Structure 1
Amino acid sequence: MKVGFARTCTLTLSLVLLLTGCWDTKDINKHYLPAVMGIGKGDSQKYKVILQIPIANEKTQILEKEAESISKAIDLIRTDSEKSIDLVHLRLMLIDIQLAQDGIGDIINFAVRANDISIKGLVSIVDGDFDKTLYHQISPTPEVSSYDFFSEEAGWTPNQSILRIWEAYRNQESLSEDMGIPMLKDGKQTLFTFKGTAVMRKDRLVGSLNQEETLLYNLFKGKYTGGTIEVAKNTSVLIEHAKVNHHTKWTEQGPFLQTDIQLNVVVTESPHGKSADIIEKDLSEKLSKQFDQTWKKIHSLKADALGIGLIFRPQSKEEKIKEWKTVWFPKLVQKIDVKVNILNEIYFKEKSSKQNEGDMLKRGTKL
């Protein structure tokens, strides 16, 4: 009897201990789950923090506070809120361009150190009216739309760059790579309008790329799915596959990089009478020229946003790696050669055959 009683007591106590972990949980209806956080310059304090919180009926509640630190601003929002605020579902962090020009190191460090913010969250810079962009609302709910804009399964295209919090933290601390951050403003019919890519030197904004240059930036980095290139008037191609090969060497003057890019494309639009050979030639020449111009622009900003230092890193000594951004990258010489291969050439052959048949019928020739 005593043994049975002891076992019963032990089992009961075990169940009680397990239940204690649930007593302090809060109902989901008592939580605010922000999807977007905006961080800008305050009117009277250093930072202004704006949280977008999805609520029922496809609407969004917006809360904001100013403080000398981001943590304090969030704490003030929590203080005045009737519900608990959890940042575990934060998907997008929007940073005012004025802060980006001064440096975003403190902001990224805060996001990485915060226990309740996922480092998989996305980072973007607002190049426009900061308050207007954060308070801008459309249907469906902004938290869905904001994520879809950066989702490769939804609204994202290679004309838009993409960067996550952990990548921003890695790049700002990297000795051999800088970063590019997407730039946006409020849209008219959509939640956002993408303006291009902010080029960062360490954690500071030093220049920008437009949408066409962003496509080449993404192509260089292997992110090209769904990319459409306009060759000339009424002629466009869709990138199906891209192969990028780098050939490196060190000369007496410094590092040299030869980049060969092979594109397999599908013609989506073309005027009558324009052959595949002409399109391939025109596109190869155009992209080689555009790549060269984009590379020179990035190089002039002294920011290795393309991550070329990573290409040289395996064959570089530790001293050269430490000096890459300050000594060797400014001396870098790069040449880019683009070759294009059209995959749907049968379209041109069939079209050419039909044109020949039509010409023969017009002349009264028997087929």
Structure 2
Amino acid sequence: MIRRSFVSVILLLCTLSALLTGCWDTKDINKRLMPVVMGICKEKNQDYRIILQIPSPEKQGSQFMESSSATITNAIDNIRTKSEKGIDLLHIRLFLVCEKTAKEDLGDIIDYAVQANDISIKGLLAIVRGNFGEVIHHQINANPELSSYDFFSEQAGWTPETTIIRLWEAYRDMKSYTQDMSIPILTKGTDTLYQFEGSAIIREDKMVDEITSDEVLIYNVFQEKYTGGTIEVADQSSVKIKKASIKHDIKWLATGPQIKSRIKLKVEILENKNEESEEKIATKLKETIEKRADKLLNQLKNDRADALGIGQLFRKKMNEEQIKSWKQHWFMNMEHDITVDVTILNSLYLKSPNKIKKPVS
């Protein structure tokens, strides 16, 4: 016979389990606001100005809420206090930081975003140039929250002349001895939502320089994120890069690190008004890319910012002290040779074996 005490325990456990399965802490979606963009800028009094862009189907556009405080957390709490609905930050896709703040210190902002429990570390990061409020509030069409993200989406408006970096990548690079980062710079567009002005070079947690879209192309090749784009080889000709890849040969000599990088490009000629030979166009393209790569590398050395992440390739060959002094010493004295191989695909498309051109190297 089952004891009464045992039956009582079973009944108690069943009652508790029934209570635990209830969705007692859920909040109706109609009672929540879900921002997709957060703008952050430090004001003259060192307070953080926070602007949240929230999709608003009723307004056929966006709703904006903002506040300022000595800390980001308190500024967001102030917005929550005056909001008639709960604010869910989990859906933020894009973080926009004003250029002035980026030049002073990005560390606090990135630390906050990564350590906050209610913010996705997959959010994208960009720097705003010009009037911060005007860029954030700028709207073009009835769906600005999607337009903001599409500018950085590889399935939509993103192009390989623009860098793309997520919060977790920025946090990783900021803490790294052997790698820095590049963050896209944007301004208010005229016929579009944004206009890109190249990319910022970040050393540790500060913006120290910037590069043009021409150099960004090389940067994305090194990051293995290049997925095609158009380049003007001369005044009357242009090519489209269908595929770009890169391989490195690294050595650690008595004098220090040495690296030979080989970029392979497969291109299609789009315009050739001067009717130049494929060999001549390939040679010009090779020289153009090599010149851009050398310029970018020299610029990064002057900035002591390893935005290409070359130090990552040498980590296994360095001891702890060498890793810590990579940017200050070894990166500055590194020997780096960059060569480009170009393969023209136009002849291949004609399916004529006697017209297939060998890559120019």
TM-score with structure 2 setting the length = 0.90
Establish whether residue 54 from structure 1 lines up as the match of residue 39 from structure 2: no
CA distance in 1, matches of 2:144, 2:9: 55
What is residue 362 of structure 1 aligned with on the other side? none
1:131 to 125, 133, 145: 133
What is residue 169 of structure 2 aligned with on the other side? 167
1:295 to 288, 294, 297: 297
1:226 to 225, 228, 240: 228
Larger radius of gyration: 1
Establish whether residue 282 from structure 1 lines up as the match of residue 284 from structure 2: yes
CA distance in 1, matches of 2:104, 2:70: 15
State how many pairs are aligned: 350
Post-superposition shift, 1:333?
2.2
1:213-268 deviation per Cα after TM superposition (whole angstroms, max 9, x unaligned): 11111112211113221111232222222221212223343222211111111122
What is residue 358 of structure 1 aligned with on the other side? none
Establish whether residue 36 from structure 1 lines up as the match of residue 37 from structure 2: yes
1:92 to 91, 94, 111: 94
**Contact preservation (8 Å) 1:276, 1:342:** yes
**Contact preservation (8 Å) 1:224, 1:239:** no
Instruction: Give the stretch that moved more between structures: 10-19 or 251-260.
Output: 10-19
**Contact preservation (8 Å) 1:45, 1:66:** no
CA distance in 2, matches of 1:347, 1:230: 21
**Contact preservation (8 Å) 2:199, 2:216:** yes
User: Equivalences for 1:1-367 in 2 at 5 Å?
Assistant: 13=15, 16-18=18-20, 21-42=22-43, 44-57=45-58, 58-271=60-273, 273-346=275-348
CA distance in 2, matches of 1:54, 1:44: 30
**Contact preservation (8 Å) 2:236, 2:274:** no
The runs of 5 or more residues in structure 2 that have no matched partner are: 356-361
Identity, % of aligned pairs?
A: 47
The runs of 5 or more residues in structure 1 that have no matched partner are: 354-367
Q: Give the letter aligned to residue 92 of structure 2.
A: L
TM-score with structure 1 setting the length = 0.89
Q: Give the letter aligned to residue 317 of structure 1.
A: N
Post-superposition shift, 1:190?
1.1
Residues 1:204 and 1:44: Cα distance change in structure 2 (over 3 Å)? closer
CA distance in 2, matches of 1:118, 1:65: 21
**Contact preservation (8 Å) 2:228, 2:244:** no
1:167-218 deviation per Cα after TM superposition (whole angstroms, max 9, x unaligned): 0000000011011111111111111111111001101110000111111111
What is residue 360 of structure 1 aligned with on the other side? none
1:4-41 deviation per Cα after TM superposition (whole angstroms, max 9, x unaligned): x979966972674145x323322111111000000002
Post-superposition shift, 1:71?
0.4
Post-superposition shift, 1:82?
0.8
